[in-house]
């Protein structure tokens, strides 16, 4: 990997200043996407701004929201997000044990990989994504493959998930990477349902027809294959089929 200047700020303001200090900069959270990308020279930042010294870890409940710091590791969400069992279970299925000991919630959400797990939880749990500059609703935040509402240099500080009556996540994992070939997060917010799909399309999205069908107690819809991803792992028809299967699996294990 190409060398860079490592900056370890002690405050959000210092981090933002270091980011805009000239040249290409990148924020370092858990590093489990960024460092592999730098090793393969897909990313070659001049400066790496380490966010680990800003105190952005931890899980707190405030009313009907569960707030999780952006630097909280997947392993800590898996054991600590007990107020939302579906979210804890999602975190326990990311990558493998060693990856979960390093990877972070904020890093995953900021990256918005179209096959990542957390974006589905954010959408289905009507999350608020707080940053050093303000706040975004999940519905506005995810804008397609690797694209978010974050401005250049904006730092996620914490994410507040609405605590649902019941929720669950089901994913068909790629056997090597453990990313979602298709993942579906279903949440029951007291009769208001939110269903979010990751892995299937060019970015995470809500499945409005499924939400309406569940709320009405009607037959579950089929996912149209039109705009779904096609790669060496699965074609659009198979992904569309998996959306229905994962939806049923998630509905069968609501907690």
Q: How far is the CB of 82 from another protein (least distance, A)?
A: 16
Q: How many residues does the chain have?
A: 255
Q: How far is the CB of 137 from another protein (least distance, A)?
A: 32
Q: Residue 80 or residue 95: which is nearer to another protein going by CB?
A: 95
Nearest to 158 by CA among 135, 175, 181: 135
Hey, what are 53's tokens? 């010294």
Q: Output 171 or 206, the one with its CB closest to another protein.
A: 171
DSSP 8-state code for residue 149: S
Query: What is the smallest separation between the CB atom of 23 and another protein, expressed in angstroms?
Result: 14
In whole angstroms, give the CA distance from residue 33 to residue 40: 11
CA proximity to 169, closest of 143, 147, 194: 194
Provide the binding-site residues for another protein, judged by CB under 8 A.
1-6, 28, 31-32, 35-36, 38-39, 48, 50, 52, 95-99, 101-102, 176, 178
* Cα 206–Cα 107–Cα 71 angle in degrees, nearest 5: 115
Of residues 47 and 200, the one with the C-beta less far from another protein: 47
Q: How far apart are CA 65 and CA 122, in angstroms?
A: 12
Question: Closest CB to another protein among 3 and 62?
Answer: 3
CB of 29 to another protein, least distance (A): 11
């Amino acid at each position: 990997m190409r060398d860079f200047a490592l900056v370890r700020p002690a405050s959000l303001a210092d981090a933002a200043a270091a980011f805009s200090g000239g040249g290409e900069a990148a924020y370092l959270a858990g590093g489990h996407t960024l460092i592999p990308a730098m090793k393969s020279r897909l990313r070659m930042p001049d400066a790496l701004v380490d966010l680990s010294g800003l105190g952005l870890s931890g899980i707190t409940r405030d009313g009907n929201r569960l707030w999780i710091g952006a630097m909280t590791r997947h392993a800590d969400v898996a054991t600590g997000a007990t107020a939302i069992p579906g979210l804890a279970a999602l975190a326990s299925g990311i990558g493998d044990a060693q990856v979960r000991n390093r990877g972070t919630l904020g890093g995953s959400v900021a990256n918005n990989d179209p096959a990542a797990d957390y974006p589905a939880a954010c959408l289905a749990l009507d999350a608020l994504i707080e940053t050093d500059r303000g706040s975004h609703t999940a519905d506005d935040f995810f804008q397609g493959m690797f694209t978010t509402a974050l401005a250049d240099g904006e730092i996620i500080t914490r994410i507040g998930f609405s605590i649902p009556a019941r929720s669950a996540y089901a994913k068909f994992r790629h056997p090597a990477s453990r990313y979602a070939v298709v993942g579906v997060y279903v949440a029951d917010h007291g009769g208001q349902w939110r269903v979010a799909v990751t892995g299937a399309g060019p970015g995470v999205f809500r499945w409005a027809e499924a939400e309406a069908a569940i709320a009405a107690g009607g037959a579950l819809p089929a996912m149209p294959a039109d705009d779904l991803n096609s790669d060496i792992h699965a074609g659009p028809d198979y992904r569309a089929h998996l959306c229905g299967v994962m939806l049923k699996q998630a509905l069968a294990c609501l907690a």
